[in-house]
Structure 1
Amino acid sequence: MTGSKFLFDTGRAAVLVDCGLFQGLAPLRRRNWRPPELDLDRLDAVVLTHAHLDHCGYLPVLARNGWRGPVYATQGTAELAAIVLADSAHLMQEDARQANEGGWTRHHPALPLYDADDAAAAVRLFRPVDFGATEAVAPGVALEFGRAGHILGSAWAHLDLGGRTAVVSGDLGRQEHRVLRPPQPRPDCDALLVESTYGDRSHDDAGATRQLADTVNRTVRRGGSVLVPAFAVDRTEVVLVELAKLVRSGAIPDLPVFVDSPMALASLRVYRKAIANQRTEIRPELLSAADDVFDPGHLSELRTAEQSMRANRPETPSIVISASGMATGGRVLHHLKSMLPDPKHTVLIVGYAAAGTRSRRLADGAREIKIHGRYVPVRAEIEVIDAFSAHADADELVAWTTTGTPPSTTYVVHGEPESSEAFASRLATDHGWNAVVPRDGERVLV
Structure 2
Amino acid sequence: MCNMKIKFLGGAGTVTGSKTLVESNGVRFLVDCGLFQGLKALRELNWEVLPVPAETIDYVLLTHGHLDHCGWLPKLVAQGFKGKIYCTRPTKEIAKLILLDSAKIQEEEAAKANNKKFSKHKVAKPLYTVEQAEEVFPLFRVIKPNETFNIDAEISVTYTNAGHIIGACSITVEAEGKTLVFSGDVGRDNDVLMFPPTKPKKADYVFLESTYGNRLHPDTDPKLELETYINNTFHKDGTVIIPGFAVERAQSIMYLLWQLKKENRIPDIPYILDTPMGANVLGVFNENPQWHKLSAHECIEMTKMFSVITDYEDTIKVIFDDRPKVVIAASGMATGGRVLSYFERYIGLPNTTVIFVGYQGEGTRGRKLLEGYETIKIYGQHYPVEANILQIEGLSAHGDQQDLVNWLSALENKPERIFLVHGENEPADELRLKIKERYGYECNIPFMHGEAEI
Q: TM-score band, normalised by the shorter chain?
A: over 0.9
Residue in 2 that maps onto 1:282? 292
Alignment partner of 1:36: what SS? coil
Matched, 1:334 2:344: no
Pick aligned residue for 2:328 from 318, 321, 324? 321
Residue in 2 that maps onto 1:212? 226
Residue in 2 that maps onto 1:302? 309
- Structure 1 segments of 4+ aligned residues over 6 angstroms from their partners: none
Q: How does 1:137-286 map to 2 (within 5 A)?
A: 137-204=151-218, 206-275=220-289, 279=290, 281-283=291-293, 286=294
Q: Please, what is the CA RMSD of the aligned residues? A: 1.4
Matched, 1:441 2:419: no
Pick aligned residue for 1:366 from 350, 364, 373? 373
Question: Are 2:54 and 2:77, in contact at CA under 8 Å, matched by a contact in 1?
Answer: no
2: CA distance, partners of 1:128 / 1:232: 22
Question: Are 2:55 and 2:82, in contact at CA under 8 Å, matched by a contact in 1?
Answer: no
Pick aligned residue for 2:66 from 38, 52, 57? 52
Alignment partner of 1:403: what SS? coil
Pick aligned residue for 1:122 from 132, 136, 143? 136
* Amino acid in the other structure paired with 1:56: C
Residue in 2 that maps onto 1:64? 78
Q: How does 1:390-409 map to 2 (within 5 A)?
A: 390-404=397-411, 405-409=413-417
> Which has the higher mean CA deviation after the structures are superposed, 134-143 or 31-40?
134-143
How far residue 253 of structure 1 moved from its aligned partner, in angstroms, is 2.0
Pick aligned residue for 2:432 from 407, 424, 433? 424
1: CA distance, partners of 2:296 / 2:103: 37
Residues 291, 282 of structure 1: alpha-carbon distance in 2 compared, 3 angstrom cutoff: closer
* Amino acid in the other structure paired with 1:445: E
How far residue 228 of structure 1 moved from its aligned partner, in angstroms, is 0.4
2: CA distance, partners of 1:239 / 1:146: 26
How far residue 414 of structure 1 moved from its aligned partner, in angstroms, is 0.4
Higher relative contact order (CA 8 A, sep 6+): 2
Unmatched 5+ stretches in structure 1: none
* Amino acid in the other structure paired with 1:13: V
Residue in 1 that maps onto 2:4? none
Alignment partner of 1:61: what SS? helix
Q: How does 1:349-364 map to 2 (within 5 A)?
A: 349-364=356-371
2: CA distance, partners of 1:85 / 1:139: 31
How far residue 205 of structure 1 moved from its aligned partner, in angstroms, is 5.3
Residue in 2 that maps onto 1:414? 422
Matched, 1:112 2:122: no
* Amino acid in the other structure paired with 1:22: F
TM-score by length of 1: 0.96
Unmatched 5+ stretches in structure 2: 1-14
Residues 101, 290 of structure 1: alpha-carbon distance in 2 compared, 3 angstrom cutoff: closer
TM-score by length of 2: 0.94
2: CA distance, partners of 1:226 / 1:203: 23
> Which has the higher mean CA deviation after the structures are superposed, 176-185 or 196-205?
196-205
Identity of aligned residues (%): 36
Residue in 1 that maps onto 2:40? 26
Residues 246, 13 of structure 1: alpha-carbon distance in 2 compared, 3 angstrom cutoff: same
Question: Are 2:179 and 2:205, in contact at CA under 8 Å, matched by a contact in 1?
Answer: yes
> Which has the higher mean CA deviation after the structures are superposed, 136-145 or 381-390?
136-145
Question: Are 2:58 and 2:82, in contact at CA under 8 Å, matched by a contact in 1?
Answer: no
2: CA distance, partners of 1:92 / 1:402: 42
Question: Are 1:6 and 1:17, in contact at CA under 8 Å, matched by a contact in 2?
Answer: yes
1: CA distance, partners of 2:265 / 2:420: 40
Q: Deviations over 1:357-379 (max 9, x none)?
A: 11111111111100011001100
Residues 199, 294 of structure 1: alpha-carbon distance in 2 compared, 3 angstrom cutoff: farther
How far residue 112 of structure 1 moved from its aligned partner, in angstroms, is 0.8
2: CA distance, partners of 1:356 / 1:200: 19
How far residue 441 of structure 1 moved from its aligned partner, in angstroms, is 1.6
Residues 402, 293 of structure 1: alpha-carbon distance in 2 compared, 3 angstrom cutoff: farther
1: CA distance, partners of 2:277 / 2:296: 26
2: CA distance, partners of 1:103 / 1:144: 49
Question: Are 1:313 and 1:339, in contact at CA under 8 Å, matched by a contact in 2?
Answer: no
Alignment partner of 1:369: what SS? strand
Matched, 1:86 2:95: no
1: CA distance, partners of 2:434 / 2:212: 13
How far residue 269 of structure 1 moved from its aligned partner, in angstroms, is 1.5
Pick aligned residue for 2:89 from 75, 86, 101? 75
How far residue 327 of structure 1 moved from its aligned partner, in angstroms, is 0.8
2: CA distance, partners of 1:440 / 1:135: 30
Q: How many residue pairs were aligned?
A: 439
